[in-house]
Amino acid sequence: MIMSGMDAEVFDQFIEQLWRYVHERLIPAEKDVIAANAIPEDILDEMREMGLFGLTMPEEYGGAGMNTSQYVETIRVLSYALPAYRSITSINLGMVCTALKKSGTEAQKAEWLPRLAAGEIACFGLTEPGSGSDSAAMQTTAVKDGNGYRLNGSKRYITNAPFAKLGLIMARTSKEPLPKNAHVSAFLVDMEKAGVTVGKPDKKMGQEGSQIADIYLDDVHVDGDALLGGEEGQGFRTAMMSLDNGRLSVAAASAGYARRILDTAMRYAQDRKAFGEPINQFQLIQAMLADSEAEIYAAECMLKDATAKVDAGEPSLLPAASTKLFASEMCNRVANRCVQIHGGAGYLAEYEAERFYRDSRIYTIYEGTSQIMQLVIAKAMLRNFAAGGQA
């Protein structure tokens, strides 16, 4: 099914407005966000008013009804600013909303999508202390209890956990691993329920303002209608479908932030003088700038191609993984060059280059490490080749 999305003219106007908001409001507020390690409530309210929490929600649930191409372009523009601004919205949009739209019952959609579109914050509970990509090792359990379930276990490194009102929690509904990870189910958990505890926010290398924390589930009772889609064994499939959108969001964040990093490097190279002239006149500096521009352009093109395939209803696993792999690694290379262009100043916290370097590092890790992306890509290539003679 082709996803038409928002009217093109209206979308262009929205992007123009967002671009101004990013440059005139969000970037000037970055120092305050970093100092507090949280986005101020007045800015969150402005983001809610702009509809940034409901970009991909259907219009009937209070959202903007964007297709994937429009959503990813919005994330790319938003990600020119501090990564925290994307993080606070992206779990709602790229993962939880996707899971609800594709797998939720009509009652679940009616209850949660309007609340998420209005700006209630969600988190996505897959990773655990002993399992990340290895779902067979998941220890969180959901045991039948009357017409509901009791959840016990813990989740680790969960983005937005300290702020979340809703958690999409993966748990085992079967003790033994089953084919196609059918032992894992997904549950919509009100984060204020008795037995849900959120740990102290973790101290991170970068990405200040975005918070992650552990979630502890101690005999948490949920009704049967909390089971996503009303069917056991669909949780992992739901998570993987959601991760395709999540990975494209990370790729868009990488491309948007890399553009900010390159602009900063260009500005410094223009202003900094050595041997009587701006360092942007030195060919080896120019080489780093040129390589960065070429790689950012490649990532932007990959994003457009991958999201067009999603909107056309074509298989998205391979293009999403490929785009996430390239864009995240690219952003790290651009950040490294930015530090190098700054020289000794790039190692000092008073310059943005140092922060960019720390912020970018996570992009090659979350929503699937680069190594997991390589495995996903290779398996898809081999499967496609075996089926049709080409990768």
300 a catalytic residue: no
Which sign, positive or negative, has the C-alpha torsion 69, 73, 74, 78? positive
Residue 16: C-alpha distances to residues 12, 21, 32, 63, 209 (Å): 6, 9, 25, 19, 25
Pick from 136, 156, 278: nearest CA to 217: 156
Helix-strand-coil split of the chain, %, nearest 5 = 60, 15, 30
Tell me how far apart the alpha carbons of residues 253 and 296 are, in angstroms, rounded to a whole number: 12
Beta strands 141-145; 122-125: pairing state: unpaired
- Rg of the chain over CA atoms, in angstroms? 21
Cβ(98)–Cβ(241) under 8 Å?
A: yes
Could you give the CA distance from residue 88 to residue 208 in angstroms, rounded to a whole number?
A: 12
Q: Take residue 20 and report the two structure tokens written for it.
A: 């101004």
- Give the integer Cα–Cα distance in Å for 52 and 43: 11
Cα of 95 vs its chain's centroid, Å:
8
**Catalytic residue from among 128, 208, 300, 367:** 367
What does each C-alpha distance from 311 to 14, 203, 249, 318 come to in angstroms? 20, 38, 15, 15
Ordered alpha helix ranges (H), the chain:
8-21, 30-36, 41-49, 68-78, 83-90, 97-103, 106-117, 235-271, 283-311, 317-342, 352-360, 370-388
253 neighbors 94 (Cβ within 8 angstroms): no
On whether the CB atoms of residues 203 and 179 are closer than 8 A, the answer is: no
Residues carrying an active site annotation: 367
